[in-house]
Structure 1
Amino acid sequence: MPEGDTVWQTAGRLHAALAGRVLTRFDLRVPRYATVDLTGRTVLDVTPRGKHLLTRFEGDLTLHSHLRMDGSWKVYGTGQRWSGGPGHQIRAILGNPERTAVGYRLPVLELLRTTEEHRVVGHLGPDLLGPDWDPDTALANLLKDPARPLGEALLDQRNLAGIGNVYKSELCFLLRATPWLPIGQLPAERAEQLPALAKKLLEANRDRPVRTTTGRRGQDLFVYGRAPRPCLRCHTSIRVGDQGDGSRERPTYWCPACQSGPGPDSAHRTHRRPGN
């Protein structure tokens, strides 16, 4: 699933291509909106909110989209061949004479009043890359359920918005705690560092073509996707296990030597579904 930095980049590309321009093509290929036509309207802006995208049009209308696991928005110039997937996977087309934005495999596509955006993003916690960022509120949200595993708390977008499975694993490594450690057992000093550390990682990567948490060329990530290769810090083999987030099991990576706390077999599993 694309994380907050990837969604930020996607919003930037869409905004540069569409904002301030009049639509000459508008096509939503979902039954609910098959007859909606916004051609002739100006695109006002494209704004990211956590992992959500809000494309706003004149006339108090917003197109809400979410990429989930496989969705993507691609921007093409006039005459450029579309290459984001087969035609049957296209869910949205927004175009002007210079650029066309094409949404592929979008599982969430909803047209609503701009004044009602709170219906789809109002549940989100402070946005790590947004103007509403509030580290104190984010920390309070994370700690309100001290028995909840750290990794699950980080993925819950109601606590803070923008962290996905990659940053979850990387943050837990940097905090020296397994993703299955109850967040209330995280030492106070490290818990207080968590919001600032999460923001630092996303801000450092929001304009990068290749995500890195290590600062090392050719070794971009500490643990995510690296099992069973050696830990960059202690050379112990990185391990991988599944951790539920309330909706599905996700591959989760950690170093058993550098990170303290339970592993997937001994951790208590919760069954809460986090908001996206």
Structure 2
Amino acid sequence: MPEGDTVHQAARRLHSALAGSVLTRSDLRVPKYATADLTGRSVLDVTPRGKHLLTRIEGGLTLHSHLRMDGSWKVYAPGERWSGGPAHQIRAILGTSEHTAVGYRLPVLELLRTRDEAKAVGHLGPDLLGPDWDPETALRNLLQDPARPLGEALLDQRNLAGIGNIYKSELCFLAAATPWLPIGELPAGTAERLVTAAKRLLEANRDRPARSTTGRRDPRLYVYGRAPRPCLRCGTPIRSANQGDGSRERHTYWCPRCQPGPTP
């Protein structure tokens, strides 16, 4: 699943391509909106909210999309060959005289009244890359269930918005705790530092073409995707197991020496 920094970059590309221009092509390939026609309307802006994308359109409309695991938006110039996947995977096309944005494999695509955006994103916690960022609220949200495993709490977008599976694993490493440690058992001050680190990492990677949490070009990540290679700090082989956010399982990575605490 894309992380908040990836979604932010996608929003910036879409905003640069579409905002301020009139739509000359509109094709929403979802049965509920198959007859919706947005041509002739101007795109006002494209705004990220956590892992959600809000494309606001003249007339009080918002096209809400979510990439989840496999979705993507690609932007093409006139005459450029579309290369984001086969035609049957296209879920949305928004075109202007200068650019065409094509949404592939979008699991969530809905047309809302802009005034009703809260129905789609109102449940989200403070956005790590958004103007609503509030570290005190994010910390309070994380700690409201002290028995919840740290990794699950970080992935829950209702606590703070923008952390995906990569940052979950990396932040647990930086906190020196396994993702299965109850968040209430973190040493004093660790949760506060974790929130600060999450903000710092997403901001640092917001404009990078390739994500790095180590500050290096290689390896870019401390633990994610590195099992069974040695830990960068202690040399112990990195381990992996499944852990979800309470709704689905995802691969999680940790160092059994640098990150004490319960494991599967």
TM-score by shorter chain over 0.5: yes
Q: Report % sequence identity.
A: 80
Q: Aligned residue for 2:203?
A: 203
Give the match's secondary structure for 2:247.
coil
**1:212 maps to 2:220:** no
**1:57 maps to 2:57:** yes
* Alignment partners' CA distance in 2, 1:151 and 1:88: 36
How far residue 233 of structure 1 moved from its aligned partner, in angstroms, is 0.5
* Alignment partners' CA distance in 2, 1:200 and 1:184: 23
Give the match's secondary structure for 2:158.
coil
1:28-177 correspondence runs (5 A): 28-177=28-177
Superimposed CA distance per residue, residues 138-194 of structure 1 (whole angstroms, 9 cap, x where no aligned partner): 000000000000000000000000000000000000000000000000112111111
Q: Aligned residue for 2:262?
A: 262
How far residue 36 of structure 1 moved from its aligned partner, in angstroms, is 0.5
Give the match's secondary structure for 2:109.
strand
What TM-score do you get using the length of structure 1 for normalisation? 0.95
How far residue 195 of structure 1 moved from its aligned partner, in angstroms, is 1.1
* Alignment partners' CA distance in 2, 1:244 and 1:155: 8
5+ long unaligned stretches in structure 1: 265-276
Q: Aligned residue for 1:273?
A: none
* Alignment partners' CA distance in 1, 2:104 and 2:188: 43
Give the match's secondary structure for 1:75.
strand
**1:242 maps to 2:242:** yes
How far residue 246 of structure 1 moved from its aligned partner, in angstroms, is 1.7
Give the match's secondary structure for 1:188.
coil
Give the match's secondary structure for 1:199.
helix
Give the match's secondary structure for 1:250.
strand
* Alignment partners' CA distance in 2, 1:184 and 1:260: 15
CA-atom RMSD, angstroms? 0.5
Q: Aligned residue for 1:269?
A: none
1:179-198 correspondence runs (5 A): 179-198=179-198
Superposition misfits of 4+ residues, deviation over 4 angstroms? none
Give the match's secondary structure for 1:173.
helix
How far residue 218 of structure 1 moved from its aligned partner, in angstroms, is 1.4
Q: Number of aligned residue pairs: give it.
A: 264
* Alignment partners' CA distance in 2, 1:85 and 1:176: 40
Kindly provide the amino acid, as one letter, of the partner of residue 28 in structure 2: L
5+ long unaligned stretches in structure 2: none
* Alignment partners' CA distance in 2, 1:132 and 1:204: 18
**1:21 maps to 2:21:** yes
* Alignment partners' CA distance in 1, 2:190 and 2:183: 11
